[in-house]
Structure 1
């Protein structure tokens, strides 16, 4: 007989090494519980959660370098807006610069959808490196656009020359990755932005996982790079918000205006989000987590995770395992199939890249103690040396 729902408990994160989700910050957990029933999809009715969403988008704007580009009423204060029009004379039209999504997949699909809606071609094409997240394949299928993937270089980053060769008059969007899901690689964003500007098409940056590490990494990746038009960043990953809490941001409000549909039976007359009813819990937890952790907490986590990833990579090398040099705190390494299956049988939740390497993401719940225990199991299984 199955235990009741009340008797079941969530899986422990102690041996979870490949997930890009983690335990939410305590403040994020408390905020999520308070706003479980609030619906940011109708902000004119649920005004408090609408205000929290503006605060969350404002924080995401600052994190991604959009602080001087986002604003309302002609000022330059980063206040963030969600692309809606309220049925009240006192509010009028609200400029659109972003909203809290269900996650990176929704954000990427919406970026493609926005580009399609604004495309001049009847057969719009999206150009992306082969390292792009599988959500772009979903987007192409759902939206009826062609996804044209191009090779990466030997380091796993987008090959700018290959991207340039793939751009023609039908291209509606170029995609760059800032923290790839498999290897944590950051594409040459400035070069890709220049290419997109020259071609007259928007550049979308997928920083779903990397976005909360990148401000401290020295990379050029965000809205402070001319030509970056839309960007994905997920608070429910390294940002430590509760799931679901992604983020879609735009430099120009027209990018989200292209997504708006009329909602005449709500107090809010239009919405630009993909889903209708949305998670107030995700919105509130994102605002709370960023309020607690930006910037010092995220900086400390980046430094901790980067140091731990470097240590772990060296430990693996000392065991004569081939390791992909980590760029962000993600370690991919060759592991014989039998050993891979054996450590999984011992309860370690690890996954493989498309090329077959084992993959460990150093999330906030991953500690030196847990990685040491993993290495002990490798040694016990007599991994190659």
Structure 2
């Protein structure tokens, strides 16, 4: 069937707030410059969770909660980097005793995240940000140990003459989260899981971030933001993303999935990636996790007003399962979610007549192209 254009009407019944498919918005990352009250309310009706900068929605927060009483809005806070105004003891240092900055942001410095004083400062600032903004909690960015990889930092941090390890970073970040949770008494979520491959890594696992948080973001869910549009995770890596979500939910927390297409791509390709990411999410979600798809880097990309975000599959009838070569499926009360993560086309016998989200009739055996997904509705 033809892909759904971005402004096309939804073929499926819209998923209301509180339904199984829950959307979240990284508004601080790709938000609009400003909102009218009507726009803010429209936004609130679509989202279960919005993460925004200090004060962005303060004037409209009451109207947004009236439009969607279950909405949660969190205030953004970088948990591991800061500006120039802190006491020197709160900054991380390299082996020469110099401060360390992020190469892309030379006025942003790595903080001494091993210090209880820094954890206390993050907690204190979260309290202030929540009170000023009148939001529901705090969102802590850069909790993951990604800055220790590649060329992110101007130099590597040391403590006692030894370079920080990934395990140390994760443990200290979790301490920061616990301090923020204790200080605020509110929701605390964060970013830092990466993807399933990092979550399950034997040397740089991000799994230790889960216990202290009410929810954790995986910013590389299904794909890396700047990867070529035709590049896909292997089946093994893809499956780790689904299993990571299930493991986090089994621990009593929730996943904030994020899939970004920050590369050259046509609308047809973006729509295909949207379906692929959403199908992956639905295979693993227990109804408490949140989905976010950013089609590009433009302001307003987090708006989320796309028909695929309104798909209502009902509730799952069981766990996801492999049903063919590279093909996985999960049955829902209102249909079936199917994805082919393999490198070649594969057939699937449906067993009954369905329609796709684009309105096409589907019956008998259908062929799923490589790296494609479909939602079959009863």
Larger fraction in strand: 2
Task: Name the TM-score, length of structure 2 as normaliser.
Answer: 0.32
More helix by share: 1
User: What TM-score results when the alignment is normalised by the length of structure 1?
Assistant: 0.32
- Asked which structure has the greater RCO (Cα within 8 Å, sep 6+), the reply is 1
